[in-house]
Structure 1
Amino acid sequence: MKAIEAGADTFEKVSAKTYACQGAGCCERLIYRLLEFHQAHQKEQASSDADEQTLPVDKA
């Protein structure tokens, strides 16, 4: 997750930074799941941030 959070946004980049899947390849599915999770979280966060910007300001 640290590699993904640091900008490794593809399977190949994660593998290059972490040396994952450079042998048996048993962790390939895990890397793809982590990438999907991170991307979904980023979209959710962006949506939440956009919603906060459109809320009316209480002037009371």
Structure 2
Amino acid sequence: MNRKTFIITSIGVVVGLLSGYAYYHYVGCVSGTCSITSKPLNSTLYGGLMGGLLFHLFVTSPKKKSE
């Protein structure tokens, strides 16, 4: 994993963490039966995972040199 891939994926994780917590805070789950959004830690970690995966899709693979 090169530096550019790491930076883009890390930015995605941070954006996802913030989005996950914001979703918990503003939408959340009042009854407590929702497995992801009932606790802030679950929602934040899930958001970070999804953000990292989403931003990793935008990383381009290096071109191979043809001889």
> What TM bracket, shorter-length normalisation?
0.3 to 0.5
Higher relative contact order (CA 8 A, sep 6+): 2
Q: Which has the larger radius of gyration?
A: 1
Output the TM-score relative to the length of structure 2.
0.39
